[in-house]
Structure 1
Amino acid sequence: MSTTHLLIRKDQLATARLHTDTTERPLADGQVRVRIDSFALTSNNITYAAFGDAMSYWQFFPSEEEGWGSIPVWGFASVVQSLHPGVAVGERLYGYWPMATSAVLSPDRLSPARFTDAAPHRAELPAVYNQYFRCNADPLYTTDTEDLQALLRPLFITSWLIDDFMADNDFFGATTMLLSSASSKTAYGTAFQLHQREGIEVVGLTSPANVAFCQSLGCYDRVVTYDALDSIAADTPCVYIDFAGNGELRTAIHERFANLKYSSSIGGTHVEQLASKGAGKSLAGPRATLFFAPAQIKKRTTEWGADEFGRRMVAAWHQFLSKVTDTNNPWLHAEHHHGGEAVQAAYAQVLAGKGDPRTGHILSLFKTPGGR
């Protein structure tokens, strides 16, 4: 079967094109071929691209074309060909995929719940991204919530880890958490967790257009527009959790809050400003430090054990999902995009940071559901 990819210019993220490889390469012993049925596209994936070279995200699914890359995405795939005795044709998998119609994996370290892709080019990359979950034994999987899993699962795990990291460090002595890009999924997942902490005020920073949405979530103690930072006392002992990557905003926060205890950079919803003023080392106060989720996963699995880590994460996920899907006030609905042109248009929309924060984009490079 031919494989279609959406390729992105690494140095110019707004430039994207479809590429179809009509030559199907035969599988080696131990490999499987999967059909990538659907995947989510969020600002988190734009962060992968923005930090693609610095943090090796382009290396997961390398393109054979110089200067072009495939952005990793989270979603679901079905095994269509297998030369591995432990993986059956028809098996459904959740994991990390290229923006493509198919992929080849080399399953290793199999258990009933998951396996690892042992492809040589992924050996030195963070292990958390190389795991594939077998849906028939995955405690987070339900058939009717695939869209929400693709949209929220990787983001919520990051949110849960940010909250745990802050608590693990006694919130760096702060009582107020300032979250930029408060309408983004990773931000409000983090706010959902932090809101349950005693003695911590959660302040959402957002644009005027998203104030009502952020307030409706009920997980922010206060919602403040970016141009109203002076409504927060300058001597507030606070931590800045930066989901926006907006250099000017980061500078303004560092300069205003003399009692800024810690500055954590999570991602970039404002990609064009990642390298602008305030992104460097000349900031007032603490140095902005990039949060790397795999490091906190490694720390906690060592301290708690993998089983306990999984139990806590699953419990938090189900609690969050019940809130997101509350019929009286659902936080999110999925919008589906099928076919190459629709996927390109959705990518351009997400890259530009446009759209309703209640809308999540589920993409497939196939023109119709079911991989046709």
Structure 2
Amino acid sequence: MPTTLLIRQDALDQTRLQTLPDAALAAGQIRVRIGPFALTSNNLTYAALGQSLRYWEFFPSGEAGWGIVPAWGFATVVQSALPGVAVGERLYGLWPMADQAVLQPQRLRPDSFVDAAPHRVPLHPVYNHYSRCAADPLYTAGSEDLQALLRPLFITSWLIDDFLADQGFFGAGTVLLSSASSKTAFGCAFQLAQRAGLTVVGLTSPANMAFCTSLGCYDRVLAYDALDALPAETACVYVDFSGNSALRQAVHARFAQLRHSCTVGATHLAQLGMDVQLPGPPAVPFFAPAQIRKRTQDWGRQGFNARQAQAWQALLVRVGAPVRPWLVPQHHQGAAATQALYLQLLAGAGDPRSGHMVSMATA
């Protein structure tokens, strides 16, 4: 009997566990056992933006007002009614926070397929894509934890760096990154730090300044209330991973030479809000699938994958270094532990160096 974590869509701190009978597979479907998957601030962003960006629609709960937050990670095929997908096959992709799921694979390739369940067809295909680990160029069996924790975030990080470089950084020499301790932010900083002549500044809470400084990918790390440490005439780009509208207002008001402002995530859920008369350029949401589409057209699928794989391997080596790793995986087992961890992260608790890996199925 599958167990799923449900979240109240209009009150994200209200949760409960749902257990339903197994559904029989139809022809062309597969059943997978999910785990482990990563639970990070990225999942909180999916919940916070679930209505506007349709994240609640990937795995409908069947109950009005209650949703299932998607999570990136791994699963193993335990039942198959589809020739070409075998029991025991390992998959990477987007899953419900649950212990099992049913997919309807189509467009089978040696390295991937898409879930063509009718409710997912109108949604963006990037999120419907599943990698078949045996032929996935980014997969290594010994680093599944880091892959689940960083891979979807890394793709966004890498694409932000690529987008800004493609735009000549809008004529700016400094990039400001909020929520600098977040995985998406430091993945982006890692890419930006490799570009000559660019100053990368991380903005974070006082509690996370030491962690951000220890990473070595920021030229400067500033507390959120220390923006005046940078000259007001600094020509800069702002990449907002926090979603904190008050901070965004402060950045826009401080820097008259703000050349571009983009919003990516929402780690500071309590400070989400609408901008009123925002000074300077508008805050533009960054949509990773649009940059993927552009670069796939520019470089071809093979060229895109090769560039991505090269950058990914470099980050993986640094993050998992034996001495002072950037990220240390921690494992959580069972539905109750998953529910407790979600609420802990929602409350803003946790060590930024900890990476939480979850399996809802009992061992």
Q: TM-score, normalised by structure 2?
A: 0.99
1:298 paired with 2:293, answer yes
Runs of 4+ in structure 1 displaced over 2 angstroms? none
Deviations 1:326-370 (A, max 9, x none): 1122100111111121111110111122111100110111232xx
What is the aligned partner in structure 2 of residue 3 from structure 1?
A: 2
Q: Aligned ranges for residues 101-250 of structure 1 at < 5 Å?
A: 101-250=99-248
Amino acid corresponding to residue 3 of structure 1 in structure 2: P
Q: Are the equivalent residues in 1 in contact too, given 2:120–2:128 (CA < 8 A)? A: yes
RMSD: 0.8
State the partner residue of 2:256: 258
Give TM-score, length-normalised by structure 1: 0.96
* 1:147-179: CA deviation from partner (whole Å, max 9, x where unpaired): 101100000011000000101111111110000
Match of 1:41 in 2: 39
Q: 2:348 is paired with a residue of what secondary structure?
A: coil
| Secondary structure of 2:108 counterpart | coil
AA aligned opposite 2:13:
A
Q: Pick from 299, 309, 313: which aligns with 1:314?
A: 309
Query: Which residue of structure 2 lines up, in the alignment, with residue 25 of structure 1?
Result: 23
Q: Decide whether the 8 Å contact of 2:234 with 2:255 is kept in 1.
A: yes
Q: Secondary structure at the match of 1:26?
A: coil
Unpaired segments of 5 or more residues in structure 1?
none
Distance 1:292 1:42 in 2: 19
Does residue 94 in structure 1 map to residue 92 in structure 2?
yes
Query: 1:257 Cα deviation (Å)?
Result: 0.6
Deviations 1:73-99 (A, max 9, x none): 001101011010010011010000000
1:343 aligns with 2:342: no
Partner Cα separation in structure 1 for residue 186 and residue 173 of structure 2 = 18
The CA distance in 1 between the partners of 2:30 and 2:195, in whole Å, is 44
Superimposed CA distance per residue, residues 305-343 of structure 1 (whole angstroms, 9 cap, x where no aligned partner): 011000000010000001111112210011111112111
Residues 32 and 84, structure 1, Cα contact 8 Å, conserved in 2: yes
Specify the SS of the correspondent of 2:307. helix
* Count of matched residue positions in the alignment of Structure 1 and Structure 2: 363
Displacement of 1:280 after TM fit?
Answer: 2.3
Q: Contact conserved, 2:249 with 2:275, CA < 8 A, in 1?
A: no
Structure 2 gap ranges (5+)? none
Q: Distance in 2 between matches of 1:260 and 1:281?
A: 17
> What's the secondary structure of 2:18's corresponding residue?
strand
For residues 281 and 290 of structure 1, do their structure 2 counterparts lie closer, same or farther at Cα, with a shift above 3 Å needed?
A: farther
Secondary structure at the aligned position of 1:110 is classed as strand
Shift of residue 281, structure 1, vs aligned partner: 4.7
Partner secondary structure for residue 29 of structure 1: coil
Distance of 2:267 and 2:255 partners within structure 1? 23
The aligned residue for residue 366 of structure 1 is: 361
CA deviations on 1:181-204 (whole Å, 9 max, x unpaired) are 000000000000000111110000
CA distance in 2 between counterparts of 1:220 and 1:40 reads 25
Taking the aligned partners of 2:98 and 2:361, their CA distance within structure 1 comes to: 9
1:15 partner amino acid: Q
Residues of 2 paired with 1:198 and 1:260: CA distance? 20
Shift of 1:235: 0.6
CA distance in 2, matches of 1:240, 1:225: 15
**Within 1, Cα distance between the matches of 2:275 and 2:58?**
27
Deviations 1:254-288 (A, max 9, x none): 1111110111100100111112xxx3252011111
- Whole-Å separation in 1 of the counterparts to 2:74 and 2:221: 35
Q: How does 1:274-293 map to 2 (within 5 A)?
A: 274-275=272-273, 279-293=274-288
Equivalent residue letter for 1:104 = V
Instruction: Determine what percentage of the aligned residue pairs are the same residue.
Output: 63
Deviation of the 1:32 alpha carbon: 0.5
- Residue from 66, 76, 92 that aligns with 1:68: 66
Find the residue that maps to 1:8 and give its secondary structure. strand
1:344 is matched by which residue type in structure 2? Q
Contact 1:4 1:100 in 2 (8 A): yes
* Contact 1:72 1:98 (C-alpha < 8 Å) held by counterparts: yes
Looking at structure 1, the residues matched to 228 and 172 of structure 2 have their Cα atoms a distance apart, in angstroms, of 18
CA contact (8 A) 1:82 1:88 kept: yes
SS in 1 for 2:109: coil
1:214-268: CA deviation from partner (whole Å, max 9, x where unpaired): 1110000000111111000001000110001111111111111111011110010
1:56 CA displacement: 0.7
